[in-house]
């Protein structure tokens, strides 16, 4: 076989090129620390590298989830501690001012502090993390909440079967609720309202939808949108009064716990005016007092603050041994602002008389010393003293003297009425308002969020809850913390010891409930900590496997690199020597 110079040089050059490529491979391994960087390096090992990297990415994501969840739970725990501390202070004030050593003046001063603590509680309840409230589900929705209604509710075609609503600023057409006569439960009515409102062509065309529920004894229409622009108002229709929307409240979805202003027409109204839903437009101006709008004529009205003491005066001719133990206002929506009298018709029975109207509220009532006597939003407690009891003919006159907020105001149908940060409208309905017609305004706080949970994945098929919905936090298990604080304000300003005691009971339940939630949050945080430790352990295992699969043995790689450098140098010298002895050198 003839071996040519070209063949020799080609073979040597090819060997040198392979040695250089191998040298480059060793250099890359040493510089990157990786033995497997692409499928061609080791197909089987490269597949295992990809599997390990996917597993590590999943573990890192779960660890990031836990980090975010721990931050959220830590903030929840700190906030609940703040709520607990605020409730403890409120509890101290309730115990302090329940004592007979304090009078109206001291209790009014105490009410001022309670108002500030109320605002602090609302601020805590609306705490957010990076713009996301921690005590809500997944969103907050504006809603219209009606007045209490009694089941079943009767709807009759052509009589009380239509409604007009405004959803997020879009006005619906006239919504027909029935084509006949029906008697519906609260849940059935809610379902009917929801389906008919969501079928309205105008709302559908604008992409507006609602969710309607029956909560306790009230209908609630909530916009499916969320945030500040989310709002619902019932503005017309023949079924407004039947459904409880001849008043009520309206809120936006700006925050989970929103201040509300519920408007309620007086039960004795004789005019045809209708109220819309009340809304809070300036939270800083809200006093937590309750108000009554009283029409002095068809064209004028006055605004009265009814969070005031109830006066009870014993008749000058009384001969029995009965004293006034306590009195207070229990329900501003039921007030008539009339003068009343408790008249004993025997030593064991009494009647309640409406002196202003000249009517009997109730008769044949059995007197029990120390038991509350309640009527038309008022409460009076009478007790025997000195071993005596009531005598026939004994009487006690009862009145609530409200404070004048605004007098002789001109009434314009549909024109906004502003009362200490609260806005409402009263419009002519079947007629104008008449003198003596009343519209109560009651403030409070309402939860605007949903009950959705925000779980995170901490393992395959395993999730952990990271939020406490507001419905479980401040208004759960029969306890409404905000309502209890509002009751305390009303009782203090009304010099109502029984009301203070009732508020104290609600605060005690609230403190116990918040304590249990703090324990729950602590347990969730511990579970996350344990989960994080486990994930770190698994991550370490996969990291080691990945290292074993793709990382080089640095000492061996350096040794191979040095040997390969020698090989390249040797190949180069060989090629040079062959070239020196070849014919090509002489031809050059």
Per-residue pLDDT tens over the stretch 305-360 = 999 999 999 999 999 999 999 999 999 999 999 999 999 999 999 999 999 999 99
- Looking at 107-197, which runs of residues are DSSP E strands? 128-129, 132-133, 143-145, 153-156, 162-167, 170-171, 175-176, 181-184
Q: What per-residue confidence (pLDDT) applies to 501?
A: 94
Residues 407, 302: Cα–Cα separation, whole Å: 4
Residues 544, 551: Cα–Cα separation, whole Å: 10
Which token pair is 190?
Answer: 């809610």
Q: What per-residue confidence (pLDDT) applies to 153?
A: 94
Residue 266 has pLDDT above 60, yes or no: yes
Average the pLDDT over 390-402 and give the result: 95
CB 166 within 8 A of CB 159: no
Integer CA distances (angstroms), 482 to 73, 376, 415, 546, in order: 23, 24, 31, 56
Banded model confidence at residue 537, pLDDT cuts 50, 70, 90:
confident
CB 123 within 8 A of CB 116: no
Which of 27-31, 136-140, 258-262, 382-386 is least confident? 27-31
Q: What per-residue confidence (pLDDT) applies to 54?
A: 65
Average the pLDDT over 394-402 and give the result: 95
Residues 212, 221: Cα–Cα separation, whole Å: 5
Average the pLDDT over 216-236 and give the result: 93
Residue 379 has pLDDT above 60, yes or no: yes
Return the top range by mean pLDDT from 18-22, 131-135, 155-159: 155-159
Q: What per-residue confidence (pLDDT) applies to 578?
A: 59
Name the percent of the chain lying above pLDDT 90.
Answer: 63
Instruction: Report the 10 Å Cβ neighbour count for 94.
Output: 26
Q: What per-residue confidence (pLDDT) applies to 138?
A: 81
Where do the structural domains in the chain lie, given as residue ranges? 49-136+472-541, 143-307+404-464, 316-401
Average the pLDDT over 37-64 and give the result: 61
List of long-range contacts for 184-189, beta carbons under 8 Å, 24+ apart: 184/152, 184/153, 184/154, 184/155, 185/151, 185/152, 185/153, 185/214, 186/149, 186/151, 186/153, 186/214, 186/217, 186/219, 187/214, 189/153, 189/155, 189/214, 189/219, 189/243
Name the percent of the chain lying above pLDDT 70.
Answer: 81
Q: Which CATH architecture has domain 49-136+472-541?
A: Up-down Bundle (1.20)
DSSP state of 278: B
Which of 55-69, 102-116, 138-152 is least confident? 55-69
pLDDT single digits (tens) 417-443: 999 999 999 999 989 999 999 999 999
CB 148 within 8 A of CB 217: yes
Q: What per-residue confidence (pLDDT) applies to 40?
A: 47
Residues 52, 183: Cα–Cα separation, whole Å: 64
Q: Residue 437: name the closest of 416, 400, 411, 404 by CA.
A: 411
Q: What per-residue confidence (pLDDT) applies to 524?
A: 85
Looking at per-residue pLDDT, the higher value among 82 and 454 belongs to 82
Round the average pLDDT of the chain to a whole number and report it. 85
Average the pLDDT over 33-61 and give the result: 58
CB 33 within 8 A of CB 556: no
Residues 299, 289: Cα–Cα separation, whole Å: 26
Integer CA distances (angstroms), 313 to 321, 339, 345, 370, 422, in order: 14, 11, 18, 17, 34
CB 437 within 8 A of CB 446: no
Looking at per-residue pLDDT, the higher value among 160 and 451 belongs to 160
Average the pLDDT over 67-89 and give the result: 91
Residue 464 has pLDDT above 80, yes or no: no
Integer CA distances (angstroms), 355 to 269, 360, 374, 377, in order: 18, 8, 16, 16
Q: What per-residue confidence (pLDDT) applies to 23?
A: 47
């Amino acid at each position: 076989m003839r071996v040519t110079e070209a063949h020799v040089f080609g073979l040597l050059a090819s060997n040198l090129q392979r040695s250089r490529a191998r040298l480059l491979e060793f250099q890359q391994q040493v510089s990157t620390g990786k033995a497997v960087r692409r499928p061609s390096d080791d197909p089987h090992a490269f597949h295992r590298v990809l599997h390990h990297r996917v597993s590590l990415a999943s573990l890192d994501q779960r660890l990031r989830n836990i980090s975010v969840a721990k931050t959220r739970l830590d903030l929840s725990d700190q906030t609940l501690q703040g709520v607990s501390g605020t409730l403890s202070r409120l509890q101290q004030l309730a115990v302090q001012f329940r004592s007979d050593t304090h009078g109206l003046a001291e209790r009014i001063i105490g009410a001022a502090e309670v108002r500030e603590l109320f605002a602090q509680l609302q601020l805590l309840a609306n705490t957010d993390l990076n713009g996301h409230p921690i005590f809500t589900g997944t969103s907050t929705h504006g809603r219209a909440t009606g007045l209490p209604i009694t089941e079943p509710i009767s709807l009759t075609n052509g009589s009380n079967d239509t409604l007009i609503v405004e959803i997020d600023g879009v006005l619906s057409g006239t919504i027909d609720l029935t084509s006949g006569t029906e008697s519906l439960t609260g849940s059935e009515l809610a379902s009917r309202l929801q389906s008919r409102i969501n079928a309205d062509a105008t709302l559908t065309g604008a992409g507006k939808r609602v969710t309607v529920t029956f909560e306790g004894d009230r209908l609630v229409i909530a916009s499916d949108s969320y945030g500040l622009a989310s709002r619902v108002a019932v503005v017309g229709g023949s079924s407004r009064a039947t459904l409880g929307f001849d008043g009520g409240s309206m809120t936006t979805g700006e925050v989970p716990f929103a201040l509300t202003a519920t408007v309620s027409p007086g039960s004795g109204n004789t005019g045809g005016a209708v109220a819309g839903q009340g809304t809070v437009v300036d939270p800083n101006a809200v006093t937590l007092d309750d108000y009554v709008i009283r029409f002095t004529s068809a064209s004028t009205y006055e605004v009265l603050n009814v969070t005031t003491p109830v006066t009870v005066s014993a008749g000058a001719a009384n001969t029995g041994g009965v004293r006034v133990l306590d009195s207070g206002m229990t329900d501003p929506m039921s007030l008539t602002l009339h003068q009343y009298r408790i008249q004993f018709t025997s030593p064991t029975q009494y009647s309640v008389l409406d002196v202003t109207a000249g009517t009997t509220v109730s008769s044949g009532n059995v007197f029990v010393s120390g038991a509350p006597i309640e009527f038309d939003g008022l409460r009076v407690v009478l007790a025997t003293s000195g071993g005596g009891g009531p005598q026939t003919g004994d009487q006690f006159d009862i009145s609530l003297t409200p404070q004048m907020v605004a007098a002789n105001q001109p009434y314009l149908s549909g024109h906004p009425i502003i009362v200490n940060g609260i806005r409402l409208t009263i419009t002519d309905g079947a007629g104008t308002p008449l003198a003596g017609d009343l519209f109560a305004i009651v403030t409070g706080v309402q939860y605007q969020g949903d009950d959705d949970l925000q779980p995170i994945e901490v393992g395959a098929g395993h999730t952990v809850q990271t939020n406490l919905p507001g419905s479980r936090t401040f208004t759960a298990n029969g306890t409404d913390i905000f309502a209890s604080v509002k009751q305390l304000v009303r009782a203090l300003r009304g010099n109502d010891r029984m009301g203070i005691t009732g508020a104290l009971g609600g605060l005690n339940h609230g403190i116990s409930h918040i304590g249990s939630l703090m324990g729950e949050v602590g347990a969730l945080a511990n579970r996350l900590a344990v989960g994080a430790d486990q994930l770190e352990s698994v991550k370490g295992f996969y990291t080691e496997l990945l290292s074993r699969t793709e990382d080089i043995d640095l000492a061996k790689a350096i040794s191979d690199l040095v040997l390969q450098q020698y090989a390249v140098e040797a190949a180069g010298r060989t090629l040079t020597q062959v070239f020196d002895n070849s014919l090509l050198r002489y031809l050059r």
